[in-house]
Amino acid sequence: MLTWSFFAAIAFAFLDWASTWKGWKIRLYIAKPATLLFLIIWTYQVTQWQAGMLWFGIALVFSLLGDIALMLNPRYFMLGLASFLLAHLSFLIGFNQQPPPLTIGTVLMAVLVGMSAARVLRTLKPGVMRVPRGKRFLSAIFSYGLTLALMVFSALVTNFRTDWSIIPASLCASGAILFYISDTLLGYDRFVVKVKHGQSYVHLTYHLGQIGLVTGAMLHFIK
């Protein structure tokens, strides 16, 4: 399962983290998209994107497009946001090929995720409204935040699905939470207050989140 492309993705992820910490822009422009590119290659090498893995592969492709858009210029922020929204929609389809179970645990998960997402949006709202076309930005971020919250909920619910074993479900849940932390940090750093080395933490949690999501999905779908 661990092919050369996996180790290439890890190597470029480490280079990306070092580049954001040190401010190495040229290396960053290479390392960030390369990490996702090799994750795409890895998932296809191992699974050929059969069955449910197709949607996780598509999610990685949209994530790569989002990475490129966000690196190019701040004016492409909306394009990057749209790409990641499509990535989360793809994750959503991948996780919900069967309806989620309705239990006390899943209802509690829905409430906790909803409360957390609402609090994050309330924190970001004043800063978003101060930027040009703030209302438009706020609507886009609300749509994105809702989709992200649904993705996190869907990943957490794998722990309550009888067809998911513990390790794949735990990896997907951890990956989704890390992705959520990454996007929360990104929004806070952009719209509330600059965080020292904030982009380093954003990239670290983002890549670990992506790796957790696709590794868990691969372990589940190739069993």
- Report how far residue 98's alpha carbon sits from residue 77's, in angstroms, rounded to the nearest whole number: 33
**Count of CB atoms situated within 10 Å of the CB of 102:** 10
Q: What is the mean pLDDT of residues 166-177?
A: 97
23 Cβ contact list (under 8 Å, min separation 6): none
* Cα 37 to Cα 44: distance, rounded to the nearest angstrom: 11
pLDDT score of 59 more than 80: yes
What's the domain count of the chain?
1
Please give the pLDDT value at position 135. Answer: 79
Model-wide pTM > 0.75:
yes
The pLDDT tens digits of the residues spanning 75-89 come to: 788 899 999 999 999
Average pLDDT over residues 188-204: 91
Domain that holds residue 20: 4-221
> Cβ distance 180 to 148 under 8 Å?
yes
| C-alpha span between 113 and 80 (Å, rounded) | 23
List Cα–Cα distances, 120 to 49, 72, 142, 194, in angstroms: 34, 26, 10, 16
CA distance 78 to 84: 10
Mean pLDDT of 14-22: 96
Please tell me the total number of residues recorded for the chain in this structure. Answer: 223
Whether 56 contacts 90, CB under 8 Å: yes
